């Protein structure tokens, strides 16, 4: 008997070649490759993410131009230890800063020569607003100081800035140190009378430029400063808003009102800080 071997499903000709799938050895996202491990098998991830230059409001280094394009690294006015941040440039292409000055018309139109009686132990005497007690002749005037800069003048909370403010036991309020000084010079340019601004506080007391900011004051005695477009105004009827001219001879004099004389806070322009007003004493 013959046995026949039947092969089902076979075809004639050579067998087809089968190509095995290629193994993709690329690193799977989120998984380390062989270069990310050390000999101990632990992941050694030393890569860093580049977040780019700091943007508006971010802390920055004032010694290098590290802010995004169009921004400047500026300190916030007016604390000397404030952290600089990236800030949009003002209309002058510079860091925004306040700019205060003494209004000439207010000072000139308010000049008034008057005799005041200063009792022993009074606040006027204690704070050295005059050269002695009893009847004193004083030259009164109004000091109005608008902020025409591109940033608010921020002096801050007095209790938190003891180096910038001094406490008056007599009046029970804070004085900002060095905001303004008053002096009187004779025709030879010699100082013959002086005074100092006895400010209750530096604050938004008068809306000066009505097309800038709103008509609601921001700064007050608890947190002192001066908004852009606002003025701090101290009228001639206030005590110590004067220079003592007792005993001075008749003649021509010059009253000098100087703001921020020690440059305790930064300003856009210091050239307008001094006002000189001619005065004639009878």
**Measured between alpha carbons, how far is 206 from 252 in angstroms, rounded to an integer?**
32
Prediction pTM value: 0.76
pLDDT at res. 75: 83
pLDDT at res. 6: 35
**Measured between alpha carbons, how far is 73 from 48 in angstroms, rounded to an integer?**
24
Domain ranges of the chain: 54-95, 104-281
Instruction: State pLDDT tens for residues 223-257.
Output: 999 999 999 999 999 898 999 999 999 999 999 99
User: Closest Cα to residue 186, out of 97, 279, 109, 120?
Assistant: 279
Strands of the sheet with 206-207, listed across from one edge: 143-146, 230-234, 206-207
**Measured between alpha carbons, how far is 221 from 134 in angstroms, rounded to an integer?**
32
Cis peptide before 78 (omega within 30 of 0): yes
pLDDT at res. 200: 66
Low-confidence ranges of the chain (pLDDT < 50): 1-37, 43, 46-50
pLDDT at res. 173: 74
Instruction: State pLDDT tens for residues 63-97.
Output: 876 898 889 998 876 655 578 899 999 999 999 99
């Amino acid at each position: 008997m013959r046995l026949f071997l039947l092969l089902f499903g076979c075809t004639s000709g050579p067998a087809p070649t089968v190509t095995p799938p290629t193994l993709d050895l690329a690193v799977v996202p989120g998984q380390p490759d062989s270069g990310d491990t050390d000999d101990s098998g632990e992941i050694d991830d030393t890569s860093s993410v580049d977040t780019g230059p700091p943007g508006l409001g971010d802390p920055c280094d004032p010694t290098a131009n590290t802010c995004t394009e169009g921004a400047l690294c500026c300190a916030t006015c007016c604390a000397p230890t404030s952290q600089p941040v990236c800030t949009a440039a003002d209309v002058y292409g510079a860091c925004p800063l306040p700019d205060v000055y003494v209004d000439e018309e207010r000072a000139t139109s308010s000049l008034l020569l008057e005799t005041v009686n200063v009792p022993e132990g009074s606040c006027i005497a204690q704070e050295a607003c005059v050269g002695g007690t009893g009847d004193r002749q004083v030259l009164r005037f109004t000091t109005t100081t608008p902020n025409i800069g591109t940033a608010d003048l921020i002096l801050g909370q007095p209790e938190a800035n003891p180096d910038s403010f001094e406490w008056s036991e007599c009046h029970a309020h804070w004085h900002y140190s060095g905001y303004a000084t008053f002096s009187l010079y004779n025709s030879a340019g010699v100082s013959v009378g002086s005074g100092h601004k006895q400010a209750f506080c530096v604050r938004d007391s008068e809306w000066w430029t009505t097309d800038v900011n709103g008509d609601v004051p921001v700064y007050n005695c608890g947190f002192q400063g001066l908004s852009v477009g606002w003025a701090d105004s101290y009228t001639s009827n206030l005590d110590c808003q004067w220079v003592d001219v007792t005993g001075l001879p008749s003649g021509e004099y010059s009253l000098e009102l100087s703001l921020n004389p020690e440059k305790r806070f930064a300003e856009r322009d210091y050239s307008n800080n001094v006002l000189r007003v001619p005065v004639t004493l009878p």
